[in-house]
Amino acid sequence: MGESIKAERIDSLSTIGLIAPAGPLEDSLIEKAICDLKQMGFWVKEGSSLFRKHGYLAGADEERAADINSMFEDKEVQAIVCLRGGYGTLRILDSVDFKNIARNPKIIIGYSDITALLNAIYKHTGLITFHGPMATSDMFKGKDSFGMKYFESFLMKPAKQLEILNPEGMEVETVFPGKGRGKLVGGNLTMIAASIGTRYELDTKGKLLFLEDVGEEPYRIDRMLTQLKLAGKLKDIKGIVFCSFASCEAQNKSKSLGLYEVLGDLAEELKVPAVMGYMVGHCTPNITLPIGANVFFDASNKKFIIEESCVL
């Protein structure tokens, strides 16, 4: 894939399409999320499945997929924000109209289960998508000013170059030294592993890979990384940025490898630049990252730089 497609930037009066491609949420929390977006100045257009509940899904697959397609087609909507993760995005990828998205490029942002949608859109259209806060995240509640800085820097006031830095006191560790340059892909490890063997699996060749997860013991992280390795997805990467792995400690530490050992052993085996500790994913702050953007990465000196503006 050559040059990425970019959406138009948004401002504080833009119309946000709010959708729920995965799990449901209590009505009161959805209403609070809508209120939070409006308090930031945005106009909000609600997806038709937003208040739907179908077991662990926010409505039927057809409804959730239709919301994605209609929000991209809707000329009034400038950006699409996902409500939450959970489970369900993989189920609807075959119903997403990628040709429609390519004709109507817009900002779309989310993380966790939404990883599958973000990477599928980038893979099948070339549109830069954004791994970052959802409508229920602390940032939209006014509790993550650090995360807001990156949200604004990528989506509202884009710079030609932007270095990703953690808050002061939250250190990034070099796992394996070296440097690389490539397009950025990645997100939630569980979702990336689940896509292997499908037409939506991640294209990692020549790419910089970032990964995050939550609530997985080290052996499960090991298993998913091994799956990626055996599937050839770690063969030609330019580097790995290990981000937040919240609550991923072993229950019985005396009988387990530690998370750092699992990640370090893999980087050592692959001989690729790697770092650990960026506040991206299931954490506060939650730094926004652009999937499909050109990136320079220097693990030795802990430099992680987005080398282009990611919206027009």
Which tens digits make up the pLDDT trace of 288-309? 999 999 999 999 999 999 999 9
**3-class SS letters over 36-88:** HHHHCCCEEEECCCCCCCECCECCCHHHHHHHHHHHHHCCCCCEEEECCCCCC
**Distance (Å) of CA 167 to CA 77, 171, 244, 295:** 32, 8, 13, 20
Of the three residues 121, 155, 189, the one that is the final residue of a domain is: 155
Active site positions, annotated: 112, 212, 282
pLDDT at 59 over 70: yes
Mean pLDDT, residues 275-279 taken together: 97
User: What count of residues does the chain have?
Assistant: 312
- Position 13, amino acid: L
Same domain, yes or no, for 130 and 173?
Answer: no
Total of domains in the chain: 2
Shared domain check, 172 and 148: no
Query: Do 78 and 114 reside in the same domain of the chain?
Result: yes
Same-domain check for residues 169 and 84: no
Identify which of 196, 147, 176 has the alpha carbon closest to the alpha carbon of residue 241: 176
* Residue 4 lies inside a defined structural domain of this protein: no
Rounded to an integer, the average pLDDT of 233-248 is: 97
The phi and psi torsions of 304 (rounded to 5 degrees) equal: -135, 100
The model's pTM: 0.97
pLDDT band at 138 (very low <50, low <70, confident <90, very high): very high
CATH number at residue 173: 3.50.30.60
> Mean per-residue pLDDT for 230-238?
97
Domain residues for the domain of 238 are 162-306
Query: Where a domain ends, among 111, 140, 155?
Result: 155
Residue 2: band (very low, low, confident or very high) from pLDDT cuts 50, 70, 90: low
CATH at 27? 3.40.50.10740
Task: Report pLDDT for 212.
Answer: 98
Cα angle 166-167-173, degrees, rounded to a multiple of 5 = 40
Local confidence band at 253 (pLDDT 50, 70, 90 cut-offs)? confident
In this structure, the answer to whether residues 188 and 97 fall within a common structural domain is no
CA distance 136 to 118: 18
